[in-house]
Structures are given as structure tokens and as C-alpha cells.
Structure 1
């Protein structure tokens, strides 16, 4: 990202850019910065956008070969075309001879780094990855926004906030805007404010359900399940997320047993450190063998539902009852 900032700052641009990765908010921000620096918003003659899969490579190359109209530069934006996961030889070859007036910007979520397209961008332009941001980066970003607004928040309440939003910066931005509006006229953001206005994402509701299961709080776990059904969440999606949560607990358990610290666990599981911290107490409640058995049980239940042996709504309920019963281990 620093290299992209330097290009914009120095007004020294590559002929082709690839912005890729799962962090959509940052990717969109930098795409916009790049476009604003390269071409005036009103210059529709020298800017073209191709969005979605199924784009005609020949048409794109033909447009690229067209000289800009009363301007120094032509900009072509190719948004989520899928060219970096399929065969796109024409454009890959064309990158070796891009005209000086042209800047091509590709935006993708996933890319195949072995593809000719990716290698061509690396050779002739700049590929910039936008990964999911780590805990420290997210906290610094949120604190920076709060400081500008004259707001303060404790570390614990910050973790509560990020626990509700997850690591999606777009979602964090939207929830933060709601929080700032709600606390207008006050300097400190409290846990009560966060609970009042910030929506809990489904993955976090599933986490709360799994925690209730691990604590043998059957009534609470079932209540959370019924709440999700009332919100029209498909039972099979809930089952999948439950299985995923138990698999994460298993990973944390195995890393615990191998002597890993919290930061290493975060790195190995792909979770933020403050999220890993919430899994550790649950991992202590089970043996690794019990967790492996649970993961297998969830997988078998999914198969039974898909083959018609079990009803989807009932199957999830039975799994919750089974693993939240006091005698689960007997």
C-alpha cells in the first residue's frame, strides 16, 4: 500500500495496477484515490469501466489502443472481471506493450498468483494486496477516527466493539458512524452505548451460542438458535457455522497443547488476538478428542440432512441439546 501512496504522491504512475485481497473497504478507498489522481470525474471520454465476468478482451484492448481525447491519459478500470483466475492470454500479452498514455486498474478479491495475468502485472506494473487487517491496525484506525471526533474509549470497550463488528473495515466504519451519532455531546463511548446501537453479526451470535453450549447453558443456547431462525437464517448455514466454531476451538486446543502463545495462535488460525482470547476458555472445557468427535458429528449431521434422513431445523436443535447437556461426556 505504501508503494501506491508514493506513486500518487509523486505523480509517477505505473501503466497497470492490480488491487486485490479480501479487505474491500481499503481496496475501494485506494481505488478511488488512484482514479481521482489519474482522471477528472467529469472526463467520461477518457475513462471506461468494465465490471463483472464475461468481458470481451479484444474490446478492452481496442479501447486501450485508442488515443485519449484532448487529454494526456486514458484510464480503464476492470472491476472483478475474474481475469486473474481464468485464461486471459490476450491482455496478459498486451501488458508488455501498453502505450504511454494508458493506465489500467484491475480490482479483484481473489487472484491466482501463478497465472500469466498476475505475473504480467508484477513485471509491467504494480500488484497491491489488501489483506484482512490485524487487531493492532484496526484499533489504531478506530482510535484515530475517535480522536478526530473528540471521543475516548477504554481498551475493553474497544474489544467489545470489534468483537461485534469483526474485522470488516466497511462494517466497522458504518457501526462507528452510528456510535458517533448516538453519543453526540458526550466525550466517552461506553459498553452500554455499544450494546445499544451496534448490531451483533451472525458469526458473533453463533459464537455466543457455542459459548452457551460449552458452559452447558442449554436454555440460552436454544434461545439464541430460535432467535436466528426468527431472523430467517437458514438452519444449514447455522449448522455450518456451528461446525466451523467447534473446528476453531479444536485448533486453539491443539495449539494450546503444543505450547503456543496467544499471538501465535492468532497467526495460525487467522483470527485476531483479541478473538483468540475468547476461544481459550472454551478450549479448556473440552479434550482434543471430544472436539474432534464433535466436528465429525456436525459433518455427519450435515450429510444426514442433505440426504433427507434428518429435518434441517430439528437436526441443529438436536446437536445443540446433545452438546449442551450436562452429561455430554458420560
Structure 2
């Protein structure tokens, strides 16, 4: 079976791949081979499709970025005839998945194989389809938006599905058990990127209190929200704990990203950070988060004061 997943919506393509892996096999299987253009050769793909699987009946091969190369006339189709011949007689024991961006109708490789493939296109979601995606994601997370507030959320958070997914997760942590208010969206949804949170997280791990507080200060001065920082730290701690437990269970690092819906830099940093966390560290961080949550709700302490207190407590306890 040959499948093409293509389009600008790389989040939905990622999700589709995860679902296919769960359906065909399992996320922890050694039965998946992934190859990437432009370095991949015709012979490598042929070899990957021809090798007998040691892990199950199916051989699953993912090839990223290859078909898109043929949008240009500089890539000669004649050099890939051996692969095209194989594709027309691909055995049922092989599932070959091509992953690409938006492909031109004039693409020479696509023209050759479109009659023997299942093509699934993932254009960028807009308008009502984007609103529907947010609504479905919100229901999955147990979020309860007021009528009209999904549009307010989209105006604030933008249209990138990776960002929207992260922001909805933060809202689900903060508003558990109650309806989402517009103030929650204003307070929590920001344009801060993960690198800022990783920097704060790393500074606390290394007990560098001055650097952690300095980053927070600059973030707040540039319009960031202290509540948003607290919840994003909470989310990152949960990622680290899940990643640690998955590794202990024997799940491979390249599969953890699919489970956590992380890739590239965020995945790399999460795997790096988990090495610094013992069971006692996890309990200490969760205890500190619970403590500042109570302080914000039951005292006159502001969220910024609570965040400074949280960072100070963790840094000093780690030193001692």
C-alpha cells in the first residue's frame, strides 16, 4: 500500500502518522523505517521496502520530502526508474508512506504514481474548519468555551495548530472544572515561545536563581503573563515525567515525540531535562506548584510574586 500525506498543515500530517502507527503496529515497534530527502537514494528506499521484517508481518517505510523534489525539472525522473518499477509491484506486506508539503499538479513523480496511491491532502485550516478543529480539540481536553469565545481565542492565539494545541492545553490545566472566560484567554495565551520556558526551566534545574528571575522579569516587561509562565512550566514538568516513564518502559526516544506531540527542539530539550529529575525532584516540583496555586487563590499574593516565590524555593532547596 502506498500513501501520500501532503500539504502545509504539518501538525495534522504528524497526527495522521501517529494514528497510522497505532493502527498498523505500535509506537514502540522497530518495524518502522524513516528516510529523508534529499539524502535518500532510490536504492535505499528499495532496500528498505524489500528487507524482511523481524518484528511483524508488515514493513512500514516513511519517506519525507522526496516527491516535492520533483516539483523542479532539475530532478531527472529517469534516475528513479528502478524505484518506480518497484512501486508498481509493491507487495502487500509493505506500507510505504510519502510525506511532503504542497505538491504541484505538474510534479513528474506524482504523475507516475498517482493512480496507485492513496493521496491525503492537508491544507492549512481556515475559517469554519479551523473553528471546528479548535472546538473538537477543546472537547477532547474537557474545555468549556462560552459561545463566541472560540473566535476570541483564535484572534489571540493565531492559526498555527502546534501553537493552538499548546495554548488549549494550558487553558485546560488552568480552568479545570469551570467555564473558560475571556480573561483566562487574555492572561494565558501569549506569543512566548518554548525556548523562553526551557531557559527558565534549565535555570531552576541548575539552581541559577538570578538568571531565572531575570528571564521572568524581561518576559513580563515585554507583555508576558506570569500565570502563563507558571502553567507552561507545569506542562513542561508533565512532559518530562511522561517521557521519563516511557523511557523506563522501554519506549524508544524517537517514538516519545509522537506520544508527546513534540518534535525537533522541544523534544530534544525535554529528553535532556529528564536526566536531571529523580522521583524526589518530581514530587518537590509538584508540591511547589500546588503551594503557589493555593497562595494565588487564598492569599493576596500576586501571580508574579507567586512565580518568584516558586523559583526561589526550588532553587534554594536544590542547593541545600
Alignment of 1:182-193 (within 5 A): 182-185=174-177, 187-193=178-184
Instruction: Check conservation: 2:11, 2:162, Cα contact below 8 A.
Output: yes
Query: Whole-Å Cα distance in 2 between the matches of residues 17 and 135 of structure 1?
Result: 28
Alignment of 1:80-159 (within 5 A): 80-81=65-66, 82-86=68-72, 87=75, 88=77, 89-90=80-81, 91-159=83-151
Instruction: Check conservation: 1:179, 1:197, Cα contact below 8 A.
Output: yes
Query: Whole-Å Cα distance in 2 between the matches of residues 16 and 143 of structure 1?
Result: 32
Alignment of 1:12-23 (within 5 A): 15-23=1-9
Instruction: Check conservation: 1:175, 1:198, Cα contact below 8 A.
Output: yes
Residue 125 of structure 1 deviates from its aligned partner by 1.3
Alignment of 1:57-76 (within 5 A): 57-69=42-54, 71-76=56-61
Alignment of 1:34-73 (within 5 A): 34-44=20-30, 46-69=31-54, 71-73=56-58
Unaligned stretches of 5+ in structure 2?
A: 194-217, 223-320
What stretches of structure 1 move > 4 A for 4+ residues in a row?
A: none
Query: Whole-Å Cα distance in 2 between the matches of residues 92 and 112 of structure 1?
Result: 19
| Cross-structure match for 2:162 | 170
Q: 1:161 to 1:65 in 2, by over 3 A?
A: same
Residue 105 of structure 1 deviates from its aligned partner by 0.5
> 166, 169, 189: which one pairs with 1:198?
189
**SS of 1:97's equivalent?**
coil
Q: 1:59 to 1:160 in 2, by over 3 A?
A: same
Query: Could you list the per-position Cα deviations for residues 218-269 of structure 1 after superposition, in whole angstroms to 9, with x for gaps in the alignment?
Result: xxxxxxxxx9xx98xxxxxxxxxxxxxxxxxxxxxxxxxxxxxxxxxxxxxx
Cα RMSD over matched residues? 2.7
Deviation larger for 68-77 or 83-92 = 83-92
| Cross-structure match for 1:290 | none
Query: Could you list the per-position Cα deviations for residues 254-313 of structure 1 after superposition, in whole angstroms to 9, with x for gaps in the alignment?
Result: xxxxxxxxxxxxxxxxxxxxxxxxxxxxxxxxxxxxxxxxxxxxxxxxxxxxxxxxxxxx
Alignment of 1:253-268 (within 5 A): none
Residue 117 of structure 1 deviates from its aligned partner by 2.0
Unaligned stretches of 5+ in structure 1?
A: 1-14, 203-226, 232-330
| Cross-structure match for 1:179 | 171
The normalised TM-score by structure 1 is 0.51
Instruction: Check conservation: 1:17, 1:121, Cα contact below 8 A.
Output: no
Residue 167 of structure 1 deviates from its aligned partner by 2.1
Query: Could you list the per-position Cα deviations for residues 192-221 of structure 1 after superposition, in whole angstroms to 9, with x for gaps in the alignment?
Result: 11110101489xxxxxxxxxxxxxxxxxxx
Q: 1:136 to 1:58 in 2, by over 3 A?
A: same
**Larger radius of gyration between Structure 1 and Structure 2:** 1
Q: 1:92 to 1:145 in 2, by over 3 A?
A: same
Instruction: Check conservation: 2:36, 2:65, Cα contact below 8 A.
Output: yes
**SS of 2:125's equivalent?**
coil
Query: Whole-Å Cα distance in 1 between the matches of residues 28 and 142 of structure 2?
Result: 36
Instruction: Check conservation: 1:18, 1:126, Cα contact below 8 A.
Output: yes
**SS of 2:128's equivalent?**
helix
Instruction: Check conservation: 1:47, 1:74, Cα contact below 8 A.
Output: yes
Query: Whole-Å Cα distance in 2 between the matches of residues 149 and 71 of structure 1?
Result: 34
Query: Could you list the per-position Cα deviations for residues 158-188 of structure 1 after superposition, in whole angstroms to 9, with x for gaps in the alignment?
Result: 2121012222222111111111222234x22
Query: Whole-Å Cα distance in 2 between the matches of residues 145 and 42 of structure 1?
Result: 25
Q: 1:177 to 1:106 in 2, by over 3 A?
A: same
